[in-house]
């Protein structure tokens, strides 16, 4: 994993600056892929796309935030200083190196939204929001719900949480483009989670990409076994 230099972004609400981690390259070694499309990849961390401003606590999308083009870096300098001689009168000149950190070094880091933040961000979606942002947020909310079951499939949830979860999936389903195989698998996963096993199977059956055939088989197996919880694909 090769990190790229941080970039500085300005909150569109209050102009507070914050830094964002970036990646030059990463890989999927040691990654886990799940049926809801979530990939746990230690060597390929997901970049922040939507965040809460550390200054005003409001939510913004990085796409809407201005990036500062010129970021002052740290400075190493050799300076000549005049020091007093110890044993006799007078002074002498001495070279000293000094280090000045970038004035932006202490800026807070932009973080991913937590589950509550994702719901807040969803409430702020408007007609003018960029296409895909609602699907992005609803998918992330779904992943956050599924996180409870990734390592503990028999975990339980509160009825209210279950209602929110279903409502989120019902709203997510029509946003998914099921014209390609990735979208078909995503739709199948949502249908499984909603308990519509017959539909889930039918959508999974339509997957034709050879590379996805092993995954397709797992979706069909889950539909046949009426298994609605998230499961490992790889």
| Residue 64 binds to Zn ion (criterion: CB under 5 A) | no
User: What minimum distance in Å lies between the beta carbon of 13 and Zn ion?
Assistant: 4
| Residue 208 binds to Zn ion (criterion: CB under 5 A) | no
| Residue 10 binds to Zn ion (criterion: CB under 5 A) | no
Contact 194, 174 (CB under 8 A): no
Q: Which range in 15-23, 113-121, 185-193, 196-204 contacts Zn ion by CB under 5 A?
A: 15-23
Q: Which range in 2-10, 49-57, 122-130, 180-188 contacts Zn ion by CB under 5 A?
A: 49-57
- CA distances from residue 213 to 35, 129, 207 in whole angstroms, order as listed: 13, 35, 7
User: What minimum distance in Å lies between the beta carbon of 67 and Zn ion?
Assistant: 15
Nearest to Zn ion of 59, 141 (CB atom): 59
Contact 48, 64 (CB under 8 A): no
A 10 A CB-CB count for 57 gives: 12
| Residue 11 binds to Zn ion (criterion: CB under 5 A) | yes
- Binding to Zn ion (CB under 5 A): which residues in 66-125? none
Count of positions on this chain that bind Zn ion (CB under 5 A): 7
Nearest to Zn ion of 59, 176 (CB atom): 59
**Residues at the interface with Zn ion (CB under 5 A):** 11, 13-14, 16, 53, 55-56
């Amino acid at each position: 994993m090769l990190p790229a230099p941080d970039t500085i972004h300005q909150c569109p609400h209050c102009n507070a600056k914050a830094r964002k981690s970036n990646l030059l390259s990463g890989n999927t070694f040691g990654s886990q892929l799940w049926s809801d499309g979530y990939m746990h990849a230690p060597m390929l961390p997901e970049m922040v796309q939507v965040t809460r401003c550390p200054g005003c606590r409001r939510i913004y999308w990085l796409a809407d935030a201005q990036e500062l083009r010129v970021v002052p870096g740290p400075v190493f300098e050799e300076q000549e200083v005049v020091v007093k001689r110890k044993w006799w009168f007078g002074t002498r000149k001495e070279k000293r190196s000094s280090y000045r950190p970038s004035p932006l070094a202490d800026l807070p880091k932009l973080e991913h939204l937590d589950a509550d933040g994702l719901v807040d961000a969803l409430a702020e979606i408007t007609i003018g929001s960029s296409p895909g942002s609602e699907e992005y947020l609803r998918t992330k909310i779904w992943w956050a719900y599924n996180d409870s079951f990734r390592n503990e499939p028999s975990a339980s949830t509160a009825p209210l949480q279950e209602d929110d979860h279903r409502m989120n999936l019902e709203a997510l389903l029509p946003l998914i483009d099921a014209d390609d195989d990735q979208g078909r698998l995503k739709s199948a996963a949502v249908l499984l989670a909603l308990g519509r096993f017959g539909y889930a199977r039918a959508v999974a059956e339509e997957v034709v990409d050879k590379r996805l055939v092993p995954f397709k088989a797992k979706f069909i197996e889950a539909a046949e076994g009426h298994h609605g919880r998230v499961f490992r694909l790889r």
